[in-house]
Amino acid sequence: MRNTYVPDALKTAVAREFSASKAEPMYSQLTQILASSIRAGILPSYTRLPSEAELSNQLHISPSIIKRSISCLVDEGLVVRVPGVGTRVLGSQFTREKHGARDELHCTLTTPISRISRAERLPVADDIATVLGDGESRETLLITTQLRAGNLTVALMRSYLPIDASIDLDLVAQHGVHRALEFSLLRPVSGTEECRVRASTNDEAAALGIPPGHWVLTLERTMHATNGSVVEIANHAYHPEHFLIRRSLT
């Protein structure tokens, strides 16, 4: 059955803060109210939002404003549209500001970036199997993602996950592995990350369209859940001409 419950606290916030007489666009007002409700836990993480029609009916706001506000929340990574399921709250417990991790480095191209991902079970080297703690199976779930700028592959990213990980590839395509992990039972909260330059492997060179052995920018990361277990070991290779490392200094 569809969830028709809109929290009273959200209705109160809308009644108090939303107004057609304000200079700020109404969709922007509503986006801020919904985002604040998500961050405050009024709209809990990992739950399904009421439909846009239900929100419109119970908040007394036009469907077009609701639709645009939800799209803004999707862009901010606070909610995700899951085909056949509805709109889910991703929440804000995991943020880049919290520990500096990111799904990928910053691409300097202006062409829109897309992700193409696939998942496979495979045996892994002893060092990865030991870190993931997969027992006697000696297997891992490998998520391989290509970042594409038009027809150009600009990054090859691999994430090794525990063999029993449940991850939605549609979420990976929309938001990257981190957001998909946050939405699953594996929720990364801390980790280590290193960026360096090294010679490309043959498969990296083939994917990125560069000569074998040509240098690539890499990112290596290990992420942990709240109980300390490792939930991701990531190895990324980036086309050397199209990426940079950007950090905010405060």
> What are the structural domains of the chain?
8-89 (1.10.10.10), 96-244 (3.40.1410.10)
DSSP-assigned states of every residue in 134-157: -TTS-EEEEEEEEEEETTEEEEEE
Q: 229-250 burial string, b = 16+ CB within 10 Å, else e?
A: ebbbbbebbbbeebbeeeeeee
- Amino acid occupying residue 155: A
pLDDT given for residue 96 in this prediction: 40
Positive or negative torsion for Cα 193, 197, 201, 206: positive
Q: Which residues contact 133 (CB under 8 A, 6 or more apart)?
A: 162, 229, 230
In tens, the pLDDT along 38-79 reads 888 888 876 788 888 889 999 999 999 999 999 888 877 788
pLDDT given for residue 131 in this prediction: 67
Conformational region of residue 228, where left means phi above 0, alpha means psi within -120 to 50, and beta covers everything else: left
pLDDT given for residue 67 in this prediction: 93
Cβ neighbours around 38 below 10 Å, total: 22
* Helix axis angle, 52-59 to 63-76, nearest 10°: 120
Please list the ranges in the chain whose pLDDT falls under 70.
Answer: 1-4, 46, 82-85, 91-103, 126-127, 129-138, 183-186, 189, 226-227, 246-250
pLDDT mean across residues, the chain: 81
The pLDDT > 70 percentage for the chain reads: 80
pLDDT given for residue 206 in this prediction: 94
